[in-house]
A and B are shown apart, each in its own frame.
Chain A
Amino acid sequence: MKVTVDGTEVDLPSGTSAIDAVFAAGGDVPYFCAHPYLSPVGACRMCLVESGSPRKGQDGHFELDETGQPKIFYFPKPMAACTMLATEGMHIKTAKTSPVVAKSQAGMMEFHLINHPLDCPTCDKGGACELQDRAFEYGYGASRFGFDRRHADKHYPLSDFIILDQERCIHCKRCVRYFEEVPGQEVLDFIERGGHTFIDTQEGGLPTGFQGNIADVCPVGALLDNVARFRGRNWEYDHTPTTCTLCPVGCAITVDARNGRLERIVGRENREVNEQWICDAGRFGHVFAREGRLTSPLIRDGGQLRGASWDEAIQAMKNGLYGTSPADIALFINSDSTLEEGAAVQALAGQLGTGHVDHWPRYPVAVSSTATLTDVASADAVVVLGADLGEEAPVVELRILEALRGGIIPNEFTHGTAIADLRLVERPARKPERLAVIGQPSRLWKHAGIRADVGGHNPLLKLANPDSDELRAALTLLGRAEKPVLILGADVLNQASGSFAASLSDMAQRTGAKFLAIAAGANSSGLAALKLVPQPGQLNFSQLPQARAAFISRLDPRVRAAGFTIVHDTHLTETAKLADVVLPAVTNYEKRGTTVNLEGRFLALQQAALSAGDSADLIRTLTILAEALGVRPQVRGLKSAQGVLETALGFSVQGLPERGEIRPLAGAAGNGATTGQVYKPQLWKEHMLDKGWHTTWAERTESLGAGEWELPMAAQPRHAPGGDD
């Protein structure tokens, strides 16, 4: 299909909208209501273009103009490009070549701004605001509106996390469509009509889970992240594009830090993983990265932990480990550690000759998923086995819901994801019959057509040998579907025994289903591939109290080893309080490295500019430990770790594409090292509710009700009042 935009001809697939044709041709039109992952509605009327098509005459040939070219019959008025299908031979004129379009867009911008408060200097969106940018590019520069602006509630908290400024709202309806189309929750809508229209909830409050995304989709400063409110201007933040490691999905995020403090996390696009959406735990559950951090090593001195320098800590480790056989030192790390860190652990373990190596959390088996998240979103049948996705991998829930509303994944062009994919419609018909949920009741139940509560039994075995109508229906659903996907959650993977792999492949063969196993930790599939698990006869993480000496990185089992215990953590946890030496660690926001998500996708982590005193990442800490032990390990930095990884994996993890890359993990399925304990994923609880070492949202919102809570404000300047430096 050939379309001409401002004289430039582009070749596009049929079904492309006019707005995408313009962008594909390298042009530009302003838009507010269109959004790549939401249905086009044509409400803001900014993307007006002049358009016309050739017309066939009576003889079946195109009518020609005087130059012999097909004559273009233009629509008498400008049309909204986001809701118009581009057709063969269509000509589109944007503001670049059409004065009519330029005037229409300037006029529309004037309408947008007549009731907008223009309080950009105090607005958190300032500098990253679509309205600001577009007003600058396409507006008149002045308004002829000589009346009072509409006044409405400027500080209206929709929930504890989202605050609404009704004056700034330009009624693009993105937030309403987001809730209806993505998490499938009908909570927000326009109230009143005409010039009085405003956004509100019917019953008050927003459902937790995915509400934070509306702050990302809002083109203006109407819906703001209350957690980051008034914490900095957009140009002051250091934006670091990285990967979230709170759960194994590996969503693309941007970490915004100011003056070394993590202030905000926003979602970033990765079409193949999280599209554009992240969960609330990933967005708001970052308080731990800045509150109560350990900034220097602690050593036990006279029974008490006291602050110390790294040199003192090295000396203390040297003294404490004196006489301990290096082969008795256990190395236990958190499974959200990067592959590079895993390689460092492995290298040091090899040097020390110890086999007491483990990562936690993990399940007894590491299953390599055969399905990708895109497979989930485009599946015609999804069976979820024993998973509480809200606590395990929330974004998988969104991808399942995407499958239920038709599995339409927006097209991709050279300019990125289609801005308006006309296959997406408002209020899409949902197909709950495509989803079966087997296991304990969870948030996903209300979306499922088939539900089976199997109590404590293994859902996979129950599905293989159905004994109820629901289970039989689920099996039939899988059998009849063309692209079925099985999702395996904690209740299946915890109970995995020796015959597990056989019964899984049997089920996959019987039904032709691909499966997606939700790993326990953010990088547990990657660390399992590095074989960071104890060999038979060696200690696993649950056997920590039996270890003669142990180095524990960012794990909180609340017990210590029998002998000398070194804890490497970001906070003074209960375990750290029992340790002999505590070394300050960095969070995953402050690391460079590689992680492997639940699909087996290699994703890069970048280091955000956070300041955390003397804390060190695992590679550096292990190098220091090696120094204390008097050995020189193969991995002493990121570069050498990547070298070791390349040898172990057979390919380089450097220069990964932005979307990551799915690579087969050699030998991952084979390990069956027992864990000795059951892992219960609690993403939401841990990051949003649990009372830990930091103030949690539960605490904050509790005090909010009591009127004790203050808006987070920047620290007072230290200089004397009146000074003006």
Chain B
Amino acid sequence: MTAPAPPVTPRRPIVSGTDPRFVPTLYAHVGQGGSHTLEYYLRHDGYMGFKRAVAMGPDTVIDEIKKSGLRGRGGAGFATGLKWSFMPLKDGRQHIVLCNADESEPGTFKDRYLMSEDPHQLIEGMLIGGLAMRASLGYIYIRGEYVHAAERLWAAIHEARANGLLGKNILGSGFDFDLQVHRGAGAYICGEETALMNSLEGLRANPRLKPPFPAAAGLYGLPTTINNVETFCAATHIMNYGADWHAGMGTEKSRGMKLFQISGPVKRPGVYELPLGTPLRELVYDWAGGPTEGIKAIIPGGISCQLLKWSDQVLGTPMDYESLAAAGSSLGTAGVTLIPASASIVQTTWNAVRFYGHESCGKCTPCREGISGWMVKMYEKLGRGHGQPGDTQLILDMADNIGGRSFCALADACLGPVLSSIKLFREEYAAAERGELIGAGARRWREV
């Protein structure tokens, strides 16, 4: 008879920013004087991750990223290691690493500080990505409005080039890599990966047909992998501290740290680096200092996510991909926006719909005519107090004809706030159909 095995201490993952084991990395240097310079970066163990990656070799790097459980931080949450492994191995073609820095989702503002305050960690992350995916060319497609960030990036790239961190045979590793920064001209659709590639090629930013997927034929028809700024930066730190360190944070399927942004009527709006799985309550109250006025709804991950009603239950939701999906929304870019009780939900949704209507590229019919043409007009009618009975039902029916029928995800993204607001705040829509708008701030919109 054998003695029972000693109970294994279950690994206790870090799911709170207040956990003493949690150390911020992505934003560790944001706000420090001179943090954007190479000299500062090297002083703080800069480019050590890249050196480790060189020592590991490309295949091990991809395995390490897979092991870390890193998922795309741009919103879709696709496993990064898997995505990197889609690149063809030895096809003799030029491979391209693309960084999607066209951060345009309303409520999202994490990447701009990464790029303007700590640009070298992005460069290092792209070096690691380039090494892993056998790419010798990288592009950073940065949102046009981010002039300051673009200038910092340019400066950082010049510094890196001057110090042999970009160019031929980097640090004697035999690996060649160079980076280019391209400033966008102001279109939300350029955040869609294939539209971004079209835009980068100098074409009209329309999404492309998939397949072929970018890993087979992307930018200029060459194998391309595109990732968010935060994803590349996370790769830097995974190389620095190891896959286990990264996997030690977060929940079962959502590992690692995440930059949460919070905006709206809170005491301290801003960007907070926290482990995934941190409860919404901790973010709102402990970090952002709590709301400054009554709140009626919350958008958990950028404006394309479904609204959630402000409640104890929702505040208890761990902020990770699965829990938010279970709650009826999604993590998206983790751009949390609070909607005050004084606002009219109809008008708030109108604001979102107007944004999508303005940003629709016009390629496919449901988005061009449905979102950009009709939906905006319907919301304008309701939002200005000219609603009529049946309008909500019509919006729902239009949404049914748009959802899943459009070419890219932009039209579906618009339906997130539309459908969830109707579902959660049907009484406000019913009032709007009578020409009444609920909320103290509603009046000023009426005569605009």
A177: shortest Cβ distance to chain B, in Å? 12
Which residue on chain B has the smallest CB distance to residue A116?
B369
Interface contact B404-A115, CB-CB below 8 Å: no
Interface contact A114-B369, CB-CB below 8 Å: yes
Interface contact A104-B405, CB-CB below 8 Å: yes
9 A-B interface contacts by CB (under 8 A): A45-B366, A77-B403, A107-B398, A112-B369, A150-B373, A171-B365, A194-B362, A195-B369, A196-B362
Stretch of B295-303, B352-360, B419-427 lying at the A interface: B352-360
Interface contact A426-B401, CB-CB below 8 Å: no
Interface contact A83-B400, CB-CB below 8 Å: no
5 closest residue pairs by CB, A with B: A107-B401, A77-B404, A197-B362, A194-B372, A195-B372
Interface contact B407-A111, CB-CB below 8 Å: no
Given contacts A78-B405, A110-B401, A193-B360, contact A144 B377 (CB under 8 A): no
Interface contact A190-B204, CB-CB below 8 Å: yes
Main SS of the interface on chain A? loop
Interface string of B362-374 (1 = CB under 8 A from A): 1111111111111
Interface contact B370-A194, CB-CB below 8 Å: no
In the assembled complex, which residues on chain B have CB atoms less than 8 Å from the CB atom of A77? 403-405
Interface contact B401-A194, CB-CB below 8 Å: no
Interface contact A114-B405, CB-CB below 8 Å: no
Interface contact A112-B405, CB-CB below 8 Å: no
Stretch of A36-44, A282-290, A324-332, A613-621 lying at the B interface: A36-44
Given contacts A42-B407, A104-B401, A193-B187, contact A111 B360 (CB under 8 A): no
Q: Is B53 an interface residue (CB 8 A)?
A: no
Q: Is A108 an interface residue (CB 8 A)?
A: yes
Q: For chain A residues 26-80, which have a beta carbon within 8 Å of chain B?
A: 40-46, 48, 76-78, 80
Q: Is B3 an interface residue (CB 8 A)?
A: no
Q: Is B361 an interface residue (CB 8 A)?
A: yes
For the complex, what is the distance from the CA of A171 to the CA of B369, rounded to whole Å? 10
Q: For chain B residues 377-402, which have a beta carbon within 8 Å of chain A?
A: 377, 381, 394, 397-398, 400-402
Interface contact B368-A197, CB-CB below 8 Å: yes
Which residue on chain A has the smallest CB distance to residue B367?
A194
For the complex, what is the distance from the CA of A46 to the CA of B361, rounded to whole Å? 18
For the complex, what is the distance from the CA of A170 to the CA of B363, rounded to whole Å? 10
In the assembled complex, which residues on chain B have CB atoms less than 8 Å from the CB atom of A43? 363-365, 407
In the assembled complex, which residues on chain B have CB atoms less than 8 Å from the CB atom of A194? 357-362, 367-368, 371-372
In the assembled complex, which residues on chain B have CB atoms less than 8 Å from the CB atom of A196? 362, 372
Q: Is B209 an interface residue (CB 8 A)?
A: yes
In the assembled complex, which residues on chain A have CB atoms less than 8 Å from the CB atom of B369? 111-112, 114-115, 195
Q: For chain B residues 203-234, which have a beta carbon within 8 Å of chain A?
A: 203-204, 208-209, 221
For the complex, what is the distance from the CA of A150 to the CA of B370, rounded to whole Å? 13
B378: shortest Cβ distance to chain A, in Å? 8
In the assembled complex, which residues on chain B have CB atoms less than 8 Å from the CB atom of A147? 374, 377, 381
Chain B interface residue count, CB cutoff 8 Å, equals: 39
Interface contact A41-B365, CB-CB below 8 Å: no
In the assembled complex, which residues on chain B have CB atoms less than 8 Å from the CB atom of A173? 363
User: Which residue among B208, B367, B374 has the maximum number of chain A CB atoms within 10 Å of its CB?
Assistant: B374
Which residue on chain B has the smallest CB distance to residue A76?
B404
For the complex, what is the distance from the CA of A48 to the CA of B377, rounded to whole Å? 26
A113: shortest Cβ distance to chain B, in Å? 9
Which residue on chain B has the smallest CB distance to residue A176?
B204
Contact among B394, B400, B406 with A45 in the assembled complex (CB-CB below 8 Å): B406
B221: shortest Cβ distance to chain A, in Å? 7
Q: Is A715 an interface residue (CB 8 A)?
A: no
Additional A-B contacts beyond A77-B405, A104-B401 (15; CB < 8 A): A44-B365, A103-B400, A104-B405, A107-B405, A111-B366, A147-B377, A170-B365, A194-B360, A194-B362, A194-B371, A195-B357, A195-B376, A197-B368, A425-B209, A426-B208
Interface contact A108-B362, CB-CB below 8 Å: no
Interface contact A193-B366, CB-CB below 8 Å: no
Interface contact B373-A171, CB-CB below 8 Å: no
Contact among A45, A145, A170, A192 with B405 in the assembled complex (CB-CB below 8 Å): A45
Main SS of the interface on chain B? helix
Interface contact A114-B373, CB-CB below 8 Å: yes
Contact among A42, A104, A190, A193 with B209 in the assembled complex (CB-CB below 8 Å): A42
For the complex, what is the distance from the CA of A143 to the CA of B187, rounded to whole Å? 31
Q: Is A429 an interface residue (CB 8 A)?
A: yes
For the complex, what is the distance from the CA of A393 to the CA of B371, rounded to whole Å? 47
Given contacts A41-B209, A111-B374, A145-B374, contact A48 B405 (CB under 8 A): yes
A76: shortest Cβ distance to chain B, in Å? 7
Interface contact B368-A189, CB-CB below 8 Å: no
User: Which residue among A115, A147, A190, A194 has the maximum number of chain B CB atoms within 10 Å of its CB?
Assistant: A194
Interface string of A104-138 (1 = CB under 8 A from B): 10011011101100000000000000000000000
For the complex, what is the distance from the CA of A114 to the CA of B371, rounded to whole Å? 12
For the complex, what is the distance from the CA of A78 to the CA of B404, rounded to whole Å? 7
B84: shortest Cβ distance to chain A, in Å? 26
In the assembled complex, which residues on chain A have CB atoms less than 8 Å from the CB atom of B402? 107
A707: shortest Cβ distance to chain B, in Å? 35
In the assembled complex, which residues on chain A have CB atoms less than 8 Å from the CB atom of B372? 194-196
Interface contact B209-A83, CB-CB below 8 Å: yes
For the complex, what is the distance from the CA of A280 to the CA of B207, rounded to whole Å? 33
B147: shortest Cβ distance to chain A, in Å? 22
Which residue on chain A has the smallest CB distance to residue B363?
A43
User: Which residue among B359, B403, B404 has the maximum number of chain A CB atoms within 10 Å of its CB?
Assistant: B404
For the complex, what is the distance from the CA of A144 to the CA of B372, rounded to whole Å? 16
For the complex, what is the distance from the CA of A46 to the CA of B366, rounded to whole Å? 10
Interface string of A164-199 (1 = CB under 8 A from B): 000000110100000000000000011011111100
In the assembled complex, which residues on chain B have CB atoms less than 8 Å from the CB atom of A78? 404-405
For the complex, what is the distance from the CA of A192 to the CA of B361, rounded to whole Å? 8
For the complex, what is the distance from the CA of A77 to the CA of B372, rounded to whole Å? 22
For the complex, what is the distance from the CA of A104 to the CA of B394, rounded to whole Å? 15
Q: For chain A residues 463-492, which have a beta carbon within 8 Å of chain B?
A: none
Interface string of A133-170 (1 = CB under 8 A from B): 00000000000110100100000000000000000001
Contact among A45, A111, A195, A427 with B362 in the assembled complex (CB-CB below 8 Å): A195
Q: For chain B residues 111-156, which have a beta carbon within 8 Å of chain A?
A: none
Which residue on chain A has the smallest CB distance to residue B376?
A195
User: Which residue among A44, A45, A78, A115 has the maximum number of chain B CB atoms within 10 Å of its CB?
Assistant: A45
In the assembled complex, which residues on chain B have CB atoms less than 8 Å from the CB atom of A145? 374
In the assembled complex, which residues on chain A have CB atoms less than 8 Å from the CB atom of B362? 171, 190, 192-197
Which residue on chain A has the smallest CB distance to residue B401?
A107
For the complex, what is the distance from the CA of A144 to the CA of B405, rounded to whole Å? 19
In the assembled complex, which residues on chain A have CB atoms less than 8 Å from the CB atom of B360? 193-195
For the complex, what is the distance from the CA of A144 to the CA of B401, rounded to whole Å? 13
Which residue on chain B has the smallest CB distance to residue A186?
B203
For the complex, what is the distance from the CA of A80 to the CA of B365, rounded to whole Å? 12
In the assembled complex, which residues on chain B have CB atoms less than 8 Å from the CB atom of A42? 209, 364, 407
Which residue on chain B has the smallest CB distance to residue A40?
B209
In the assembled complex, which residues on chain B have CB atoms less than 8 Å from the CB atom of A195? 357, 360, 362, 368-369, 372-373, 376
For the complex, what is the distance from the CA of A213 to the CA of B368, rounded to whole Å? 26
For the complex, what is the distance from the CA of A107 to the CA of B187, rounded to whole Å? 27
Interface contact B370-A111, CB-CB below 8 Å: yes
For the complex, what is the distance from the CA of A61 to the CA of B397, rounded to whole Å? 40
Interface contact B365-A112, CB-CB below 8 Å: yes
Interface contact B366-A189, CB-CB below 8 Å: no
Which residue on chain B has the smallest CB distance to residue A196?
B362
For the complex, what is the distance from the CA of A190 to the CA of B361, rounded to whole Å? 10
In the assembled complex, which residues on chain B have CB atoms less than 8 Å from the CB atom of A429? 221
Interface contact A108-B209, CB-CB below 8 Å: no
In the assembled complex, which residues on chain B have CB atoms less than 8 Å from the CB atom of A197? 362, 368
B14: shortest Cβ distance to chain A, in Å? 36
B214: shortest Cβ distance to chain A, in Å? 15
In the assembled complex, which residues on chain B have CB atoms less than 8 Å from the CB atom of A107? 397-398, 400-402, 405
B220: shortest Cβ distance to chain A, in Å? 10
Which residue on chain B has the smallest CB distance to residue A108?
B365
Interface string of A413-447 (1 = CB under 8 A from B): 00000000000011101000000000000000000
For the complex, what is the distance from the CA of A481 to the CA of B360, rounded to whole Å? 46
In the assembled complex, which residues on chain B have CB atoms less than 8 Å from the CB atom of A170? 365
B209: shortest Cβ distance to chain A, in Å? 6
